[in-house]
Each structure stands twice: as structure tokens, then as C-alpha cells.
Amino acid sequence: MRYRAGASPGGRAFAVAALMLMAASGAHACFDSCRATEYKPVCSDDKMWYNPCYMVCEMGPSFAAYSACLPPPPCDPRHYPYKNLTYYSSDDCRTYTLFDVDAGCMPDWKTATDYCTKLGLDLAPWDHEGSNGALQVLVAGRHFTSWVGGKTPEGLCGVMTQEGRVVFQGCNQHARFVCRSKSSACTPAPPSPAPPSPSPPKPPSPSPPPMCNPATTKNITLYNPTDCKDYTLYDIGAECLVDWFKAKEVCEKAGMELAPHTCKDVLIKLCRDRGFTCWTGGKDSDLCPLMTAGGDIVKQGCNQPVRWVCRTKVGVCPLPSLPLPSLPPPYAPSPSLLPSYPPLAPSYPPLYPPSSYPPSPSPPSPLPPSPPPPPSPKPPSPSPPPMCNPATTKNTTLYNPMDCMSYTLYDIGAECLVDWFQAKGVCEKAGMELAPHTDGAAHGVLLKLCRDRSFTCWTGGRDIDLCPLMTAGGDIVKQGCNQTLRWVCRSKVAACTPAAPPSPQPPSPSPPASECRHRHGPPIPRMLYSLLVPGTPSFPAGCIDTCDVKYPHWAIWVCDKAGKPYKNWCYAACDGNYLTSPCGPPPGSTSGNSDVLTYMGTQYEYRMFVDTLLTYSKADEYCEYLGSGWGLVPYGDEEGWSAVRQMAPFNGFTCWLKRDSGDTQCPLVDAKGLLQKQGCEQDVRFVCRRLQLH
């Protein structure tokens, strides 16, 4: 459709307005006037404008004609050039094809079914054993989601998830799909002539050879000190998954056996902690045992292809080492060199100087003369070297402004987990140390690196024959040192300018006013156990000023364990106190404008209305009503996520975040600082933001 500037009231209005503004203050003012107009793209000679207003400002009111831009054509799944993968199943002698590997034009369920029918194929059913095995290879083995055929509840359609489960959902969403050939290509064997005499029964035929070699697939071995045996997880890359019988055969050819499902601790580390489903030993019925990706032992059909774990048949335990001679007790630190700390929480044992040797055994009772002892005490036998390089595993580093040190979490992908001694060695070779759980600043970073990822990690601070670790729930416990886990290393030297010289009359040591606490921005509070010197030290210079600039008009009072009040958590952090909870203002103080919290980020200004709780849709509208550029904070934005965590969970609040288009549930950050997706109709606080006006 063609338009002429003088032919429509809208065109005349744009032209007249543009002409007046251009005459008054030039083209710049004309473009400024168009910002509030709606998006209605127009085109002329392969050039596009946001709407006719912008076009008239650029081309002038005498520009005669333009046309509405045509939208790009949507993809048509019926004619799209799909990229696909084909798999031949020896179980039913059919060919299975996964369509749209690149997810370029995923159809709904009906279109996928019609596409298969057009090619003379069927949508692969989920409720046939051979078909389900092929779907596990093509779909779950590649962590895809796909439409499947088969029986479904009325009004719903079958979907195989990336974990290999079949669920029934609405039929109008878009997903990949798998077609299979209609008929089996197995050739029936010709009838054999009747034998002259009955022959003995034949054993069951072995599983058909796979199209790959499962014995040479990528694997990882874990030594179990409980039974002194090696456990090997095969086919980490899901390139040659096999059924239960083939898995048993691979183990036996390697001189091993399928790991019994009763050895659950090792199977959990190899399978569940990687999100894998694995065949196990211990078959006692027509069904076969496996460990699910969630760590449960179940019995299912034996012909589905999954990973598997083999175990050596004979345990190889190390010879017991000679008892070590008693070592003198470690020297206690001089009381004049260390500050007097208050006792920690009950779950934290008292601190002792670290030692590179295990504790000395009790003095033995007198024995007959024995050969002379070795010239020097020997440390414990070194851990067997891993079959991978833990120092090169995937890792992530977090800088902590509280102590100006870097913390590195190793082996995110759980490909080369190590025991405590190996973890310590990796850190020391890199010029670092195992992050100590006894350090208040380190404890907060361990929570962020390990607990917030649901990881269990080795930490430093070993002082008994057990080794400390942080559980996936964030607790510090001490357990045996030979289990294999992730670990966190910490740099030994602070990477910031030292604090000002100490005062000439230090009556007692106090926490240094480290410049790294506020030279990189405001103090970052953490819910952690902090080591505080008794008394009330003065605030570091400039720290409160930084709080007032970064968090203007914040009067959300918090109290420490002893009940000491602070105007907000930033003030408490300046006092070295990070374990606080919301409380009322002290008598005689004013609460200030506590209903509106403002935070000034690097690029955006953020506002929270503390006393206003709305549903998601109303919160979204509320932010837009604040004016141009305002909106809910998207949860995928790094600066926005950091700002909302400081405004909401650090004050004990739950808060809405902006959801992506197509999400049925709404994202929020809860009072513990964790991201969740829940129903959108509950009343929750929210944070609005806009670009800062300079």
C-alpha cells in the first residue's frame, strides 16, 4: 500500500509538525519530537524508518510517497531445509531421523506429525521399547527436547525432555521431532529343515554388535578406599550408549564386572553428580537395575541404551605404613601476637595452627627392641595420580573486595574430582592455598562459589585427621579426606593498596581500615561468620560517605546478634559486622524516607518501594508509569542482578524480576538471595530501574 504525505490526516499531521519544528529549531528538534510516537515502520527504495515522523524529518515535508514495510516471512516447517541426524536401531531394524538439529524452524506437534507422514514415515512413538531406545540416543543423548508419538492423555502431546523422560504437555509449543521408518528392515531367516534328531537348546543370542566400540569410549576411573577397588564410568560423551547385556559384556571383557547397585556412594559420585543415568550390576529379575540422574536405584527394561559403570573384581589395598614417631606438639602462638577473638558458632571447632603432618598417634606401650626407625618421619602415602589433570579443569574466579584476594573454584564440570591432599597440591603448585573456611571473608566467597551452585567443595583449615568441606547446603563439616570433590583455591597475596600506616599508639590490635573495602565500591555484605575484635571500632574513613552516596536515603534498620542497631546493612558493614537481621529503629531516631530505596549503579538508577507489594503484572505496569525508560529489572542482566540482591535479600525482602517473553512463570529473588520462578499472582516487592541521566 502506498501513502502520500498529503493524502492522509496522519501524514499531514506528521508533515506539519515536522515542518514547524524544523523551521523553529532544526532537524534535531524534529527527531526529538518523534520519540513519543508509535512504532510503525515505513520504507522507500529499500530504506526503512521507525515511523513516518522520522522519515519526514530526514527527507523533508516535500517527500511525496512511502510504503508500509512488509514483515519478514515466517519459516514454513513443511518446506524448511532441515539439518538432521539418522540412527539405525538394531532392536527393531528401523531408521530414526532427528529433524531440525540447529533449531532453525521447530514445528508444533501436528505439523511435525504431518511432516513425517508426508515423507512416508511415522512420528517415533515413546511407548515402544526399540523406539524409546533410539529416542534416548538421538534426543536425550544430545540434551535436546523432541516431539514423540504414542499414546497420550486426551488433549496433550508427548515430549521427550533432555533428561530422557517423557512428559505430556500442550501441543502448540515448538520443538524438534523424530520420524522413523514405517516398516522393519529385518529379513526373516528362511525356515531351516527339520533336524534328524532334537538338538540341545541354544543359549540366548548375544546383543548385536553396536556401530561403535563402547570399550574405547571416553571414561573416568574412581578409586574407592572402602573396598580398595576401581570404578570406571564409560561413555561420558554419550557416543556409544549400550543396553544392560552389552554393558555387562564390556565389563567382563575388561576383566571387571558391572558395579553392584549396592555400592551407592561411588555410583552417586560418578553418575548422579554428573546428571547421568547408568547401568549397574545386581540383576535378579526380568528387569535390570540402573541409577537415575537423580541418584535413585530403579529397575527397568534392559534394552534401553545408557552409560554404565564397571568395577574391578579384586581389591588392591595399599600396605599399612609404619607408625610415625611422635612429633612434638605445635608451638602455641604468643598471646601478644594475635588478637583475642570471641568464640565461633558451635559448628566451628577451635582454631589451631595448620600442620603438614597428621596428628601423632598415642604413645605406644613398651615393646621389645625393634629395628631402628627411619631417619625422618614420613608423611602419608601420596594419593594415586589421577587419570586427568585437575589443574586444567574448567574453573571460575571470583575477586573478593573484602580481603582483596581472588578465589578460584576448580572442576566445575566434575571431570577430575580429587581428594583433599590432591586439592591442596593443585593450589600450592599454582602459588595459592586452599581457601580457609575459618576466615570470615573467605566463608562468604565459599557460599557464593559452592553453595549457590549446589556444589560440595574442599576447603582449607585442616587441624585434625578429618578434612573440612563445604556441603551443597553451605554447612562446614569435617569428613574423611579420600573422597573426591571440587575445591576452591585462594591467592596468598592481597591485590590492593595496603591500608594507611598504623596509629603510633595501638593499645590492642583492631581490624585494619583496609582500603580495598571501599576503593572498589561499597562493602559487599555477606551472611557469614565474621571474626570481630571485641569492642566497637570506629568506621573506616570514607566508608559511611560511600554508603550515603551509593544508597541514598536508606533507613532500613538492622541489628547484630548483640542487638546493636545500624541505619542499614551498609553502615553495619563499615563497622565490620556482616551477620545482621532487620529490626526496628532505636528510640528517638527517625526512620527517614524508608518507603523508597534508591541505588545508583554504574549505568542505571534503581528504586524499590518497600511498602508496596503487587502481583507481577501490576508491578510491571507500576514501573512503566514512573516515566520513559523505567521498567522491571531483567534477571539476566549482571548489574541488575547485583543491584537487586543488595536491595532485596540483603534487607530480608523477596522481589520480582523481569521475565522473558514466553515464560509461564515469573522470576523472583527470594529473601535468601536465590533466583526462583513461581506463580505470578502473589503480592511481592519489586525494583524498577532506568538509565542514569547525566
**421 shares a domain with 458:** yes
**547 assigned to some structural domain:** yes
**628 shares a domain with 559:** no
Q: Phi and psi of 2, rounded to 5°?
A: -105, 145
| Distance between CA atoms of residues 655 and 668, nearest Å | 5
Q: At what angle do helices 52-59 and 9-33 cross, to 10 degrees?
A: 70
**233 shares a domain with 293:** yes
**110 shares a domain with 58:** no
**10 assigned to some structural domain:** no
Q: In this predicted structure, what is the pLDDT of residue 312?
A: 93
What range does the domain containing 578 cover? 543-582
Q: Which of 151, 181, 211 is the last residue of a domain?
A: 181
**440 assigned to some structural domain:** yes
pTM over 0.75: no
Asked if residues 486 and 449 have their Cβ atoms less than 8 Å apart, the reply is: no
Q: In this predicted structure, what is the pLDDT of residue 589?
A: 59
Asked if residues 266 and 259 have their Cβ atoms less than 8 Å apart, the reply is: yes
Asked if residues 66 and 56 have their Cβ atoms less than 8 Å apart, the reply is: no
Asked if residues 176 and 151 have their Cβ atoms less than 8 Å apart, the reply is: no
- 382: which residues sit within 8 A by CB, 6+ positions away? 421
| Distance between CA atoms of residues 434 and 440, nearest Å | 14
In 3D space, the residue among 78, 62, 48, 60 whose CA is nearest the CA of residue 21 turns out to be 60
**207 assigned to some structural domain:** no
In 3D space, the residue among 355, 495, 492, 391 whose CA is nearest the CA of residue 432 turns out to be 492
C-alpha cell at 168: 505430556
In 3D space, the residue among 566, 620, 622 whose CA is nearest the CA of residue 596 turns out to be 622
**605 shares a domain with 561:** no
**437 assigned to some structural domain:** yes
**303 shares a domain with 236:** yes
**401 assigned to some structural domain:** yes
**111 shares a domain with 162:** yes
**Which domain CATH number covers 135?**
3.10.100.10
Scored b (16 or more CB within 10 A) or e, 659-691 reads beeeeeebbbbeeebeeeeeebeeebbbbbbbe
**378 assigned to some structural domain:** no
| Distance between CA atoms of residues 694 and 691, nearest Å | 9
- 6: which residues sit within 8 A by CB, 6+ positions away? 12, 15
Q: Where are the beta strands (DSSP E) in 100-244?
A: 121-123, 146-148, 157-160, 166-169, 176-181, 220-224, 229-234
**99 shares a domain with 62:** no
Mean pLDDT in runs of 10 for the chain (694 residues)? 43 51 57 71 76 81 74 76 88 90 90 93 90 90 90 90 86 92 74 56 53 87 86 89 93 94 89 88 84 85 89 75 40 36 36 38 46 48 63 86 86 89 93 88 86 88 83 84 90 64 39 35 32 36 70 71 80 75 67 66 85 90 86 86 83 88 86 83 92 76
H/E stretch holding 687: strand 685-691
Scored b (16 or more CB within 10 A) or e, 475-506 reads ebebeebebbbbbbbbbeeeebeeeeeeeeee
Place of cell 528504586: 607
**487 shares a domain with 414:** yes
| Distance between CA atoms of residues 29 and 10, nearest Å | 19
Asked if residues 17 and 27 have their Cβ atoms less than 8 Å apart, the reply is: no
In 3D space, the residue among 181, 177, 241, 187 whose CA is nearest the CA of residue 212 turns out to be 241
C-alpha cell at 80: 524448511
For residue 567, give the 3-state DSSP assignment: coil
Q: Tally Cβ neighbours within 10 Å of residue 159.
A: 23
**Pure H helices in 551-668:** 569-574, 616-625, 638-647
Amino acid at 340: S
Place of cell 488433549: 155
In 3D space, the residue among 577, 570, 474, 488 whose CA is nearest the CA of residue 524 turns out to be 570
Q: In this predicted structure, what is the pLDDT of residue 550?
A: 65
**169 shares a domain with 93:** yes
**Based on the structure, what is the number of domains in the chain?**
6
Q: In this predicted structure, what is the pLDDT of residue 611?
A: 80
In 3D space, the residue among 370, 275, 285, 283 whose CA is nearest the CA of residue 322 turns out to be 370
Q: Which of 278, 312, 346 is the last residue of a domain?
A: 312
Asked if residues 542 and 574 have their Cβ atoms less than 8 Å apart, the reply is: no
**286 shares a domain with 237:** yes
Length of the chain, in residues: 694
| Distance between CA atoms of residues 362 and 473, nearest Å | 36
DSSP count for the chain of H helices, then E strands = 12, 35
**633 assigned to some structural domain:** yes
In 3D space, the residue among 420, 410, 394, 387 whose CA is nearest the CA of residue 220 turns out to be 387
